[in-house]
């Protein structure tokens, strides 16, 4: 069973939208795949300022063949009733079966829908998801009709298994899917190819990107508290601010600064509001 990796790479996503967006991506993709007949063993979604990522493990390689029976009109029903039934089923009269019923003989249709490869289903579900993504606010750019929270630059979509890696073909408003992504905007801006989720996360970290928001927040908090402790200080705990700062950076680095004593004469509420709301300080 292949694993699926999707990354939607864009300009900076507002920190307040990232958590909900990653949850929406997982919900829309997994629901769409299941409705199309695919199953999977596990799913995980992630967000950084410039990417939404979804990883699925153990995706079925194709949807199952479906067999459906439909009961039609009586065999002595008017021709128009039979014609309507044939149109609805997509069959011809010689493909129907007459069966005895308590009210006489009735036409039955057996409709068989062959399974479809996972790549074909993934492409359809992903395009639908991207075009109908529930951003609180979105924008258009260039000459295309696509709307996204910020301009969407690239789509990474691959299926990988023991036999290798396959790019799921997809083109949305000129954005063609591939197997490449980019690292930190300034520290490692060049594109690189990936072959699996493990390869993806490892190469991102070497390119100065921590994919997990939880890992970024933990890193910020650990470094902030240890740096403050070394100076005989204590960081005021603020989970909301920590989550926001973790959504502003892909490679967190904690620095300690000092505020001139002249500015500390302002009321504490003014200082705290400015530090938290405008400067994102702890």
Residue 59: which residues within 8 A CB-CB, separation 6 or more?
A: 1, 2, 3, 4, 33, 38, 39, 40, 41, 118, 159
**What is the rounded distance in angstroms from the CA atom of residue 30 to the CA atom of residue 5?**
12
Q: Is the pLDDT of residue 177 over 90?
A: yes
pLDDT digit string, tens, across residues 52-70: 999 999 999 999 988 888 8
* Whether the model pTM is above 0.85: yes
Percent of the chain topping pLDDT 90: 75
Name the average pLDDT for the chain. Answer: 94
Q: Alpha helix locations (H) across the chain?
A: 15-35, 79-89, 118-131, 197-206, 213-230, 239-246, 268-273
Highest mean pLDDT among 94-98, 243-247, 278-282: 243-247
Q: Once rounded to an integer, what is the mean pLDDT over residues 181-191?
A: 97
Q: Give the strand pairing for 191-193 and 171-172.
A: unpaired
**What is the rounded distance in angstroms from the CA atom of residue 181 to the CA atom of residue 189?**
9
Q: What is the per-residue pLDDT for 131? A: 97
Write down the domain spans for the chain.
Answer: 3-62+116-206, 66-113, 213-278
Neighbour-count burial of 203, counting CB atoms closer than 10 A to its CB (0-12 exposed, 13-18 middle, 19+ buried)? middle
**What is the rounded distance in angstroms from the CA atom of residue 33 to the CA atom of residue 268?**
53
**What is the rounded distance in angstroms from the CA atom of residue 56 to the CA atom of residue 40?**
7
Q: What is the per-residue pLDDT for 67? A: 84
Residue whose token pair is 């010689």: 94
Cα three-residue angle 46-52-54, rounded to 5 degrees: 60
Any idea which fold 3-62+116-206 has? Alpha-Beta Plaits (3.30.70)
Q: What is the per-residue pLDDT for 37? A: 94
* pLDDT-derived band at 36, boundaries 50, 70, 90: very high
Q: Is the pLDDT of residue 103 over 80?
A: no
Q: How many helices (H) and strands (E) does the chain have?
A: 7, 12
């Amino acid at each position: 069973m292949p694993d699926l990796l999707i990354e939607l790479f864009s300009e900076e996503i507002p920190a307040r939208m990232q958590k909900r967006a990653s949850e929406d991506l997982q919900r829309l993709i997994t629901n769409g795949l299941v409705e199309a007949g695919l199953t999977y063993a596990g799913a995980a979604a992630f967000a950084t300022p410039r990417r939404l990522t979804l990883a699925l493990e153990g995706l079925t390689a194709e949807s199952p063949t479906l067999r459906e029976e439909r009961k039609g009109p009586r065999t002595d029903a008017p021709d128009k009733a039979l014609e309507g039934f044939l149109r609805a089923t997509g069959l011809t009269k010689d493909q129907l079966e007459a069966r005895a019923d308590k009210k006489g003989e009735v036409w039955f249709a057996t409709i068989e829908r062959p399974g479809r490869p996972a790549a074909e289903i993934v492409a359809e579900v992903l395009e639908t998801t991207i075009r109908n993504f529930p951003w609180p606010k979105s924008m258009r750019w260039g000459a295309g009709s696509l709307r996204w929270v910020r301009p969407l630059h690239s789509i990474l979509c691959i299926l990988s298994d023991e036999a290798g890696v396959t790019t799921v073909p997809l083109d949305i408003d000129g954005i063609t899917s591939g197997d490449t992504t980019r690292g930190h905007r300034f520290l490692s801006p060049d594109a690189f190819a990936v072959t699996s989720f493990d390869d993806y996360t490892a190469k991102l970290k070497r390119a100065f990107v921590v994919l997990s928001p939880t890992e970024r927040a933990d890193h910020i908090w650990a470094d902030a508290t240890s740096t403050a402790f070394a100076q005989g200080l204590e960081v005021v705990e603020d989970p909301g601010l920590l989550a926001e700062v973790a959504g502003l950076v892909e490679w967190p680095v904690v620095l300690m600064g000092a505020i001139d004593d002249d500015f500390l004469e302002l009321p504490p509420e003014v200082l705290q509001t400015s530090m938290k709301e405008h400067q994102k300080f702890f």
